[in-house]
Amino acid sequence: MKAAQIFDLAGEVALVTGASSGLGRRFAEVLAANGAKVALVARRAQRLDALKKRIEDSGGRAVAIEADVTDRAAMVRAFDAAEKAFGAVTILVNNAGIAHSGRALDLSEEEWRRVLATDLDAVFFWAQEAARRLLAADKKGAIVNIASVLGFGVSKGVIAYATAKAGVVQITKALALELAFKGVRVNAIAPGWFVTEINEEFLASEKGAEIKRSIPAGRFGTDGDLDGALLLLASKAGSYITGATIVVDGGQLVALA
Ligand SMILES: NC(=O)c1ccc[n+]([C@@H]2O[C@H](COP(=O)([O-])OP(=O)(O)OC[C@H]3O[C@@H](n4cnc5c(N)ncnc54)[C@H](OP(=O)(O)O)[C@@H]3O)[C@@H](O)[C@H]2O)c1
């Protein structure tokens, strides 16, 4: 079998949350470049429109859908809009996320709930909605949740984020177990440090330089480093993989162990 065939996503409809920036923007472009029609979801509509144009200029198909992932009604509208444009969503990339700063003792209830609502609750509800619709349409599909190495280990000042990401790993396993018999695969990617808007200020600091020195690969992750894991989990190449979390971190996690 040729690689181009098993990774081909022609006929698939992908929905990427958090497509307005960073990793999500790249995920959307990679899925589109490999044949999927892509629904781009985030709050910043102008950015989604710009990405839709880039994808279309490269010969792909995309639709921009403004939605806040923490809003359940907006979620239903987003799936409806994606279906209306392209048909049932067969690949969900649950990528939208936020970070926070602040040690545990200083973290407000509001901040805790904001992070958990975005990084944990929304991951479950969007996966649940995608799976319900796939089963109703009698279709197979793939859900890819974006976790983090901070779902496995922690550093200071990340308690809400790390708790959410550990939860994402567990959501991935629990959903995979319940959905495998229906042909809906659920997996996760746990990236290490990639410079994006979520962390660029922090990674440019002296602490960031220290982190970089601690990464066995000697660098932060960059464009393209997650393409392979995403395509594996989203395509036929990963048809017998479910419940897995693929760590893509330049060796950071093994170095911590
Ligand atoms: N960069 C890293 O080093 C790293 C490492 C491990 C895991 N991750 C994970 O990777 C994912 C993407 O992060 P990133 O690094 O690409 O950060 P980013 O550049 O800040 O992108 C975050 C994306 O999430 C969207 N988003 C945030 N809250 C949202 C909400 N309530 N509703 C809809 N969309 C929302 C943002 O869009 P709008 O603001 O337009 O809504 C944006 O598109 C996150 O889950 C993050 O935790 C990142």
Q: How many whole angstroms from 170 Cα to the centroid of ligand 1?
A: 20
As a whole number of Å, the end-to-end CA separation of the chain is 37
pLDDT of residue 256: 63
Q: With 90 as the cut, is the pLDDT of residue 31 above it?
A: yes
Fold topology of 3-193+223-243:
Rossmann fold (3.40.50)
pLDDT of residue 101: 85
> How confident is the prediction for the chain on average, in pLDDT?
97
Mean pLDDT of the 7-14 span = 98
Domain ranges of the chain: 3-193+223-243
- CA dihedral defined by 46, 164, 240, 229, rounded to 10 degrees? 50
pTM given for the model: 0.98
Ligand 1: residue whose CA is nearest its atom 19: 22
Q: How many whole angstroms from 21 Cα to the centroid of ligand 1?
A: 7
> How far is the CA of 96 from the CAs of 17, 20, 242, in angstroms?
5, 9, 21
pLDDT in tens, 199-217: 999 899 998 999 999 999 9
Q: Which residues are catalytic?
A: 161
- Which residues does a 6 A CB cutoff place in the pocket of ligand 1? 17-18, 20-24, 42-44, 68-70, 95-98, 118, 146, 148, 191, 193-194, 196-199
User: Ligand 1 pocket check: which of 17, 29, 43, 207 to mutate, most ligand atoms within 8 Å of Cβ?
Assistant: 43
